[in-house]
Amino acid sequence: MRIAVSGGGTGGHIYPALAFIKEVQRRHPDVEFLYIGTENGLEKKIVERENIPFQSIEITGFKRKLSFENVKTVMRFFKGVKKSKSYLADFKPDAVIGTGGYVCGPVVYAASKMGIPTIIHEQNSLPGITNKFLSKYVNKVAICFDEAKSHFPSEKVVFTGNPRASEVVSIKTGRSLAEFGLTEDKKTVLIFGGSRGAAAINRAVVEMQEALKTREYQVLYITGEVHFEKVMGELQSAGGAASNMVTKPFLHQMPEYLKAIDVIVARAGATTIAEITALGIPSVLIPSPYVTANHQEVNAQALSQHDAAIVLKETELSGDKLINALDRIVLDEDTLKNMSERTKSLGVPDAAARLYNVLEELKK
């Protein structure tokens, strides 16, 4: 079996693709993959590190204002389609799957025009431009939120969830928080703002230090590498960090620590949502307002309306509001338990298998 995969731009498009690839490899060790991305994108380094054959095309996204750059984008699209057809003709895949980002536009479109079975996977509750465009041409649209269904042709939609959830659940033995100097017998909050961190979350954490010093729970706080030195300086100026908080610039292999976490404070990206719902971890979500069509807020509200998360808008965020939200969850055992159960009820731990089943149906 041969499968071509495309998706890029952010980890939210790339990691679900890799989780899907691992699921197929588990079932079919002899399967061959070709990943088509961009030369300068995040996907190239990540995919090649997994020893998956990689080819590239050049593509950019549309500007939301009228611009000559959009004319160039259209030209790059058709050039990308031509190049994708060449790659696909050589590789001869049984199916092509796109997991989002501008790069999968030419690839999946080319495959559909060549008569190759095609799937797109939409991780967010509010779909991006590329997947909405491709939905007219593909055979199936896999979604992770019910809220996304109305944006696609209903006869093509299949609810699968995010394969990243399956990857997190499959980790049998997590790593201990003791390696950070944290204790195993205390409730633990993980605070992070994504791979690069989030300045607004960092400000709130600095502001809540005095209150945190009086709490019985502990915090593992990830600043993001670009913010680490500045945050450490601000903590020092504010009278020092609370003794029950450990601060790190980055946490490698984060999924391996999640089973030791009681509450998460994070953005509301698709990967984060998939991980916390799969494991049933209550959360305080602070959606990034800097993403297309404010889709993170829609993601967060999908949990909030089931009482599975507390949502704080960045414009309203403060140290007081953040620690009050944490207290509401961590200090009340009933709330913690109920939120955990509601969060887990929204998870799809078999998402990778569901997406594989969609692929199998297409091949019949």
Give every CB contact of residue 246 below 8 A, 6+ residues apart in sequence: 180, 181, 182, 218, 219, 220, 221
| Per-residue confidence (pLDDT) for residue 115, from 0 to 100 | 97
| Per-residue confidence (pLDDT) for residue 62, from 0 to 100 | 59
Three-state SS for 267?
coil
Q: Name the stretches of the chain with pLDDT < 70.
A: 61-71, 195
| Per-residue confidence (pLDDT) for residue 95, from 0 to 100 | 97
| Per-residue confidence (pLDDT) for residue 75, from 0 to 100 | 85
- State the Cα–Cα distance between residues 9 and 107, nearest whole angstrom: 14
| Per-residue confidence (pLDDT) for residue 71, from 0 to 100 | 66
| Per-residue confidence (pLDDT) for residue 64, from 0 to 100 | 54
SS3 sequence, 292-303? HHHHHHHHHHHH
Q: Is the dihedral of CA 29, 168, 164, 144 positive or negative?
A: positive
Q: Give the model confidence (pLDDT) of 308-320 as tens digits.
A: 999 999 999 999 9
Q: Give the model confidence (pLDDT) of 334-361 as tens digits.
A: 999 999 999 999 999 999 999 999 999 9
pTM attached to this predicted model:
0.88
SS3 sequence, 184-245? CCCCEEEEECCCCCCHHHHHHHHHCHHHHCCCCCEEEEECCHHHHHHHHHHHHHCCCCCCCE
| Per-residue confidence (pLDDT) for residue 74, from 0 to 100 | 80
